[in-house]
Amino acid sequence: MESEQLATSFESLDDQGKIAEVFRLAGFDVERGVGTEEGTVAWFAVPTSGFVRPRTLFRALPSPPDALDEALDALEGARKAMNADRAIGVVMSGELPEGYAPDLDGSACGIFTFREWFLTISGITDELNALIRNVEQSKEDTFYIPRRARLESGEEVGVESFIDDWVRAADGSSLRLNGDRDAVASVLRLASYRAARRVGTERALLDVNRASWGPLSQLAVALGLVIPTINGFVNEQVDINTRCLMGHYIVRSTKDIVTGEPVEFRFVIPENLVELLLLEPQPEDLAAWFDQRLGSSPVVQRVREALRSSRDFTDLSAKLARFHDFLRIFSSRADDAEALPVADWIASMSLRYFRLVEQRLPQRGDRDEVLKSFEEAAMRQFALGEVREDEISFDWPWSSYTERFCLSLQGFTNSIARDYFVAKKILREVEQGNEGLLLRHQFPAMTLRFLSRIAPDIAVRLTGSALGRMEQAIQDEVERKLHLTFAHILNRPVGAMRQYLEEIRQELSKTQLDTLARPLERLEAEITHLADLAEKTRLWRDEPTGTREPVRLRPLGEELLRQLQQQQPSVKMALHVTDDLVVSALPEALREALFCLVQNAFQAAIASSERTPPHVSLRGRPVGENIRIEIWDSGDGVSPGDRDRIFEPLVTTKTGGAGKPRGTGLGLPIARRYVESMGGRVGVDSEQDQTCFFVELVAWRADG
């Protein structure tokens, strides 16, 4: 029965009928018998199950009796006369005298307000008392961090006072908290605790996910005795369309056990909804909170220093502060506060927090796989800057822990948490014998700090490889700066030299031009070589960027061969590339790489010592899921001793002279660098009779 129908049906009953209906919903059989006074009826409630089934006489009282003792004596007399085990009177409106505290279970007779009796007979009072005990025993109220929140209007309010005022109000609005899942859960739990402490005079907050949720709970909501709270899964029996306090919720799907058809849920979001966005605690708020909790501990000053130095640590502190057992460790670490640099101290405290969360993960068979998925997500985010949603397990019960690790569908929102799982990934890989991971990346400093605590031997090896990479990085940067300077120096005179050469030609007569034709051609070739060297230096300096896309090879090959043959018309060319060959590449990077390789082939063919006409061919063919591009030339080939060197910067076998072209020593290195940046490889085929350079790239697929 839906809440509205239940309430309407209930309100249509007289007072005695209302009490009888509540007893029935609570699992009692209701009986009627002839009363002690002529023409009256006595009502009794008996539990439907149990070894002991006391018989309770009950009466509805419209208002509190003027003389409480006389009313109790009358109940006791009726109980004895009707041979009942207990007798109760339920006051339907008004309050009982202050100081009167009846006992529904222990006393033979008692008078109760309808509110008090309803909450007790329904079991709600027991649940609220259990909540109070749990919160106070675990000291959640002591370690709770007060929060601030922002309304849709932009106004900022104190969360606790705002919720308490909302519970007392009767404006019909519902309230939803948005923000960090753990923070929302903590705010809701403490709000329920505060309301439970005031349940004698105010509405209680009742979790709809409790196991006993049913018609009595719905009736309590409909009568305004409790306000439902929703946070987590919404079960199929929940019918909430009245005022409620909401956090994060997921409607759990289900099917009818007989028909297998999906069940249509009745849960709907109330229309009159007030949104409240929880704000992250500010460093000064956390510092004040730590001051209050840790007192004069030497660690407080270190906390303040850490909060000032790291926003990520501030974010973590709002989470770790909810673990009161962590804070006991926290406050006892005065030696750490004095001995460690602040970054190392942050790593030490964060490591304790993460280990504590891991200890509390459910001990299920898929636990290790879930932690592996966190490690994979961290490594992917670190290495590639992205995380695939299907890599992370957000299914229950893991969804309640992902936010404690600062993990969302977009990846880790906290670099300290990410670096912790990167450290765990490194440890797992090394334990499995995959030490190549240590050489592949330059890991963050926080990862090294975590490793130095988790596995010091691996941290030492990783630091050694990092030093080697640092040395290489310095060499690369020096080389890059030299190339940048070199290109700039070359570019300045080339334009001027061309202008001077043209001015000289204009001043010479036709006879003089014929006489000086050869020297002028050599001078033009030198200027062209310098210009080519400057351009190749620029290309070597620049890194290819962009997104890979489909590139058709045949039109690109036609363009390159046509361009180079215009410069060297004596070279015969051939293109053996079909129209269906398409690779996944950066268009401009692929064009530059192939231009360097084809230009190298043209120069080699011209410089050949063979008497046969120079020729160059460009061929393409699929190789599995890749495409192989081959550049053949009729040159003298590459000696075995040069095959490993020709892809190094500034190494060339083409020295010019006698009308032969000169190499820059950068064309082949640029080709390799650009091709490898696109996930391909480039090389020279040493098994062919003729010279054959090749490029292999991944074939384009429509599905990516």
Residues 338 and 305 sit within 8 Å (Cβ to Cβ)? no
How far apart, in whole angstroms, are the C-alpha atoms of residue 454 and residue 517?
A: 75
pLDDT tier at 381 (50, 70, 90 boundaries)?
A: confident
The residues that bridge with 58 in the sheet, in sequence order, are: 43, 88
Residues 122 and 24 sit within 8 Å (Cβ to Cβ)? no
**Residue 470 located in a structural domain:** no
**Residue 393 located in a structural domain:** yes
**Residue 149 located in a structural domain:** yes
End-to-end CA distance of the chain: 52
Residue ending a domain, among 121, 137, 168, is: 121
**In angstroms, what CA-CA distances link 348 with 334, 352, 651?**
13, 7, 50
Residue 642 is predicted with a pLDDT of 65
- Asked whether residue 526 falls in the same domain as residue 602, the answer is no
**Residue 477 located in a structural domain:** no
Residue 436 pLDDT exceeds 80: no
pLDDT tier at 227 (50, 70, 90 boundaries)?
A: confident
Q: β-pairing, 174-178 with 156-158?
A: unpaired
Which backbone phi and psi does 589 adopt, to 5 degrees? -65, -40
pLDDT tier at 572 (50, 70, 90 boundaries)?
A: confident
- Asked whether residue 403 falls in the same domain as residue 525, the answer is no
- Asked whether residue 292 falls in the same domain as residue 408, the answer is yes
DSSP, collapsed to helix, strand or coil, labels residue 629 as strand
Q: What CATH code is carried by the domain that includes residue 554?
A: 3.30.565.10
Q: How many CB atoms lie within 10 A of CB 539?
A: 23
**Residue 704 located in a structural domain:** no
How many domains, the chain?
A: 5
507/109: higher pLDDT: 109
Residue ending a domain, among 253, 278, 303, is: 278
Residue ending a domain, among 462, 494, 524, is: 462
Share of the chain above pLDDT 70, in %: 68
Specify the residue for token string 């922002």. Answer: 150
CB burial of residue 361 (10 Å; 0-12, 13-18, 19+) = middle
Residue 248 is predicted with a pLDDT of 66
**In angstroms, what CA-CA distances link 425 with 351, 371, 435, 450, 461?**
15, 10, 12, 12, 15
The encoded tokens of residue 549 equal 């896309």
Residue 303 pLDDT exceeds 50: yes
In tens, the pLDDT along 129-144 reads: 999 998 888 777 777 7
DSSP, collapsed to helix, strand or coil, labels residue 312 as helix
Q: How many CB atoms lie within 10 A of CB 588?
A: 13
Residue 410 is predicted with a pLDDT of 72
- Asked whether residue 518 falls in the same domain as residue 562, the answer is no
State the residue range of the domain holding 489: 484-541
- Asked whether residue 10 falls in the same domain as residue 104, the answer is yes
In tens, the pLDDT along 85-138 reads: 999 999 999 888 887 777 666 678 999 999 999 999 988 888 899 999 988 887
pLDDT tier at 637 (50, 70, 90 boundaries)?
A: confident
- Asked whether residue 361 falls in the same domain as residue 417, the answer is yes
- Asked whether residue 634 falls in the same domain as residue 516, the answer is no
Helix 324-332 and helix 311-320: axis angle, to 10°?
A: 120
pTM (2 decimals)? 0.53
10/500: higher pLDDT: 10
> In 3D, which of 175, 228, 224, 235 has the Cα closest to residue 202?
224
Q: What is the dihedral of CA 581, 583, 588, 594, to 10 degrees?
A: -60
Which helix (H) or strand (E) segment holds residue 627: the answer is strand 626-633
Please state the rounded mean pLDDT for residues 294-322: 73
In tens, the pLDDT along 132-188 reads: 998 888 777 777 778 889 999 999 999 999 999 999 887 778 888 888 777 788 888
- Asked whether residue 634 falls in the same domain as residue 687, the answer is yes
**Residue 475 located in a structural domain:** no
Residues 445 and 346 sit within 8 Å (Cβ to Cβ)? no
The encoded tokens of residue 250 equal 């997921």
How far apart, in whole angstroms, are the C-alpha atoms of residue 201 and residue 563?
A: 91
CA–centroid distance for 97 within its chain? 56
What ranges in 432-576 are assigned the alpha helix state H? 437-440, 445-454, 456-507, 510-515, 517-541, 553-567
* Mean residue pLDDT across the chain: 75
- Asked whether residue 250 falls in the same domain as residue 148, the answer is yes
- Asked whether residue 130 falls in the same domain as residue 204, the answer is yes
- Asked whether residue 155 falls in the same domain as residue 238, the answer is yes
Q: Which of 578-587, 626-635, 650-659 has the lowest mean pLDDT?
A: 650-659
**Residue 474 located in a structural domain:** no
Q: What CATH code is carried by the domain that includes residue 47?
A: 3.40.1350
- Asked whether residue 33 falls in the same domain as residue 109, the answer is yes
In tens, the pLDDT along 531-546 reads: 554 555 554 455 666 7
Q: β-pairing, 273-278 with 174-178?
A: parallel
The encoded tokens of residue 75 equal 């109940």
**Residue 204 located in a structural domain:** yes
Angle at alpha carbon of residue 558, lines to 554 and 562, rounded to 5°: 170
Sorted by sequence, the CB contacts under 8 Å of residue 483 that are 6+ apart come out as 537, 540, 541
